[in-house]
Each structure stands twice: as C-alpha cells, then as structure tokens.
C-alpha cells in the first residue's frame, strides 16, 4: 500500500491524474518495486477540455463517480480508485465495504474508516493523499519513488521516455 500511495502522490505532484487505476494496472517489478502502468487515459490537471471516453476504460467499477458522470476530474479522482484498491487488497473484493471487519492501522485508526473517506461520492469530501499517508503512519521521511515510463507509453515523444528494464 505504501509504494502505491507514494507513486500516485508523485504522479499528482507532476500534475498527472491517472484516471484508470485498478489492480491490473499495478505490477511488482523484478526489483521488487511497484510499477503503475496503463497511462493511456491519464490527464494533465491543466487539461480540462478533453473528456475521458468511458467506452475505452476498463474496470469501470474502480472509476470515480465524477468520471462516470463526465464531470470535472481532480487528484481526488485517483484517491477514489486508490481507496477501492486498498479495499481490494484488504478484503479481496470491493462490494459491501461498510459491513467488513475493521482493521487497525499503526496510529489506532481503522483502515475501513479511511477507505470510506477515500471513496466518498463527493470529490470534495474525500481525504487527500497526504492525509492518507499520515493516517497510515508513513511519516515524511520516506524516499520519493522514481517514475519510469515504459516503451508502450505513447503520450510522450520518444526523446523524453525513460524505459524501465522490466519492460525490455
């Protein structure tokens, strides 16, 4: 969970919203570091003119309500998907989350409560990734993840792509 949270936080610091986070877009590389893939639908936070085509998105059960309703996206869009991924990691499914047995995290808060705040229907009501990081007890001394772009990433010109050894 920690590597995933920090990787998404790093994307957001670069003004990128993934828009299509789901369990199959997350891999563990040979170096035992988490890899996020499938950036075909990612958006620049400054780009508000190009709506996302829903028919091209897979695993729509992980999409935030604002994406499904073709409303304004933000970093909260990925927080919603991340909350569902955390639920899937913990419970093995994403349906009926409110009746699941709670799991305590380090600082005494319940993971289920945090997940519920991450998957709030209103994007303005969702907690941000910094709050999630603090609530998970990750502190501020954690090394930033390195972003690498695989050969299949077609959104960037070839000259600015950095290729990970895992995809060679």
Burial of 159 by CB count in 10 Å (0-12 exposed, 13-18 middle, 19+ buried)? exposed
> Do residues 118 and 132 lie in contact, with contact meaning Cβ atoms separated by under 8 Å?
yes
Would you say the C-alpha torsion 145, 6, 60, 65 has a positive or negative sign? negative
Query: What is the per-residue pLDDT for 144?
Result: 57
Average pLDDT over residues 5-14: 93
Encode pLDDT of 20-52 as tens digits: 899 999 998 899 899 999 888 888 988 766 666
Q: In the chain, what are the domain boundaries?
A: 2-167
Residue 163: which residues within 8 A CB-CB, separation 6 or more? 148, 149, 150, 151
Percent of the residues in the chain that have a pLDDT greater than 90, as a whole number = 30
Q: Is the pLDDT of residue 155 over 90?
A: no
**Which single residue is written with the structure tokens 């563990």?**
28
Q: Classify domain 2-167 at the CATH topology level.
A: Transferase(Phosphotransferase); domain 1 (1.10.510)
| pTM, 2 dp | 0.76
Query: What is the per-residue pLDDT for 93?
Result: 74
Torsion of the alpha carbons at 79, 80, 85 and 87, rounded to the nearest 10? 110
């Amino acid at each position: 969970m920690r590597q995933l949270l920090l990787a998404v936080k790093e994307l957001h610091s670069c003004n990128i919203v993934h828009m299509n986070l789901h369990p199959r877009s997350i891999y563990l590389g040979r170096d035992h570091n988490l890899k996020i893939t499938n950036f075909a639908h990612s958006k620049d936070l400054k780009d508000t003119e190009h709506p996302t085509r829903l028919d091209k998105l897979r695993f729509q059960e992980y999409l935030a309500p604002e994406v499904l309703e073709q409303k304004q996206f933000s970093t909260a869009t990925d927080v919603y998907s991340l909350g569902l991924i955390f639920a899937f990691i913990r419970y093995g499914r994403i349906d009926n989350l409110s009746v699941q047995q709670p799991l305590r995290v380090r600082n005494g808060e319940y993971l289920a409560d945090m997940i519920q705040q991450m998957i709030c229907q209103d994007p303005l009501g969702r907690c941000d990734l910094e709050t999630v990081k603090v609530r998970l007890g990750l502190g501020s001394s954690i090394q930033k993840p390195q972003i690498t772009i695989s050969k299949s990433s077609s959104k960037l010109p070839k000259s600015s792509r950095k290729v990970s050894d895992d995809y060679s």
